Amino acid sequence: MAGFRIPEPFVRAPLSGARKHGLTREALLQRAGIAESDFAADGSLGQQEYARLMFSIWQASDDEVMGLSPEPVLFGTFAMMCRAVIHCTTLEHALRRASAFYRLIPHAPQLHLEQDEHLARIVVTQDMTSDPDHFLSESLLAIWHRFSSWLVGHGIPLLQVRCPYAIPVHRDLYSVVFATPVEFSSSELSLILPARELSSPVTQTPASLRQFLKHSPADVLARPNPHQSMTGRIRNYLRQHDCAALPDLDDMARTLSTSSPTLRRRLKEEQTSFQQLKDEIRRDEATRLLAESPIRIADIASRLGYTETSTFQRAFRKWTGQTPGQYRARNRSMS
C-alpha cells in the first residue's frame, strides 16, 4: 500500500510506555535514526521509520511489551517462539505450539485457539491495567494476524475483531489496521477467522524465518493489513456511498468483477450477507447522527434512504434494541 503511514496514536503510545523504562522520546528517535522532520504534520510516521522506532524501543527497554504490561517480556522471546513453530505443518499446529510456548512464560500475554465447524478464534489474554490507550492489545492482535498470514504465505481473511474495552477515541483507525468489523466492550480480546484457514500448510522455512526475524516483530506492526476479506472490500466500498443510494447485490458483483451467486456464496462463507453489510453501514451512520447531531429523526431516516420514518424506527430497534429516541436520550445523558 503505497504511502501508508502509521497514525500518531500508534506512535505516541509505545513512546509513552518506554518512559516507564527511563527512555526518552529524544533518545529513542536518535537511536532509531529518526528526525522530527520525518513526522508528518499530523504526527504520522512512515513504515520504515516506524519499524526502526519499534525495534529500538524493544531493544533499548529489553521489553517486547514496551512497558505496557505489569511485567516485561524479554527482547528475543518472540523470535524464540518463531523458531519453535517454524517446523509445524499447519497453521493450527503452529498456533497451538505458540500457545504452549507462551504458557512457559506466565507473565507474558497468553494465546488460546478455539474453533467450531465454521469459525476459529485466536484469543489473547493479558493484564490491561498498564495499557490505557489499548496499544498493546491492538499490537498483539495485529502481530498474530500478520505473523499467521506470513507463516502460510497468504493473507488470512479476518471476519471480526473483538476488544474487551469501550470504544476508543481513535476507533476509525481500527478500519486501517484490521479492515473488518470490531466489536467493542466484548468479553474477550480475539481475532475471528474462517476455520478452514487452520488447515493451511506452513510454507515458510528456517531460512525465510532468519530473514523475517531481522526486523521482526517490529516491522510486522508497520505493515498494512495483508488481506481484506470480501466483507472488508464491500464494507469499504459502501462507506464511500451515500446511505440513501447504496448499490444492490448485482451492481456490487459487477463492481467486483464477479457474479452475484459467487458474491453471495463468498459472503455466506464469511458468515454475513450483502443485506447485513448494508444494514451495518446504515446503523453506523444512524448512531453517529443520533449521538453527534441535533438532526430530526425523520430527517435521519430520509438520509438513510427510508421513505417512512416508522420503517427506520423498526429497523433501528432491530439493530440496537432501542428506538432512535431512546438511543439519543441515553447518549446525551452520558455526555
Confidence of residue 5 (pLDDT cuts 50, 70, 90): confident
pLDDT at 105: 93
Which H/E stretch holds residue 112? Answer: strand 110-115
Answer for the pair 306, 315: CB distance below 8 angstroms, yes or no.
Answer: yes
Q: Strand pairing of 160-162 and 182-183? A: parallel
Superfamily of chain region 230-334:
Homeodomain-like (1.10.10.60)
Domain ranges for the chain, please list them: 5-61, 77-221, 230-334
In single-letter form, the type of residue at position 123 comes to: V
Answer for the pair 195, 118: CB distance below 8 angstroms, yes or no.
Answer: yes
**Mean pLDDT to the nearest integer, 290-310:** 92
**Neighbouring C-beta atoms of residue 111, cutoff 10 Å:** 21
pLDDT reading at 335 higher than 60: no
pLDDT at 225: 61
pLDDT at 2: 43
Q: Strand pairing of 182-183 and 189-194? A: unpaired
**Mean pLDDT to the nearest integer, 193-215:** 90
- pLDDT (tens digit per residue) in 301-319: 999 999 999 999 999 999 8
pLDDT at 1: 40
Of 187, 171, 161, the C-alpha closest to 133 is: 171
pLDDT at 329: 87
Answer for the pair 94, 88: CB distance below 8 angstroms, yes or no.
Answer: yes
pLDDT reading at 3 higher than 60: no
Of 92, 96, 89, 120, the C-alpha closest to 110 is: 96
Q: C-alpha angle with apex 253: 248 to 256, nearest 5 degrees?
A: 125
In single-letter form, the type of residue at position 288 comes to: R
Confidence of residue 115 (pLDDT cuts 50, 70, 90): very high
- Grid cell, residue 24, equals 526518552
Answer for the pair 182, 134: CB distance below 8 angstroms, yes or no.
Answer: no
**Mean pLDDT to the nearest integer, 111-119:** 92
- pLDDT (tens digit per residue) in 42-52: 998 988 898 89
Rounded to whole angstroms, the Cα distance separating 331 from 50 reads 37
**Mean pLDDT to the nearest integer, 45-71:** 91
- pLDDT (tens digit per residue) in 117-154: 889 999 999 999 999 999 999 999 999 999 998 899 88
pLDDT at 180: 81
Rounded to whole angstroms, the Cα distance separating 266 from 237 reads 16
Of 211, 227, 207, the C-alpha closest to 149 is: 227
User: Which region, left, alpha or beta, applies to residue 165 given φ > 0 means left and ψ of -120 to 50 means alpha?
Assistant: beta
pLDDT at 334: 61
Q: How does the average pLDDT of the chain come out, rounded?
A: 89
pLDDT reading at 226 higher than 60: no
**Mean pLDDT to the nearest integer, 150-170:** 88
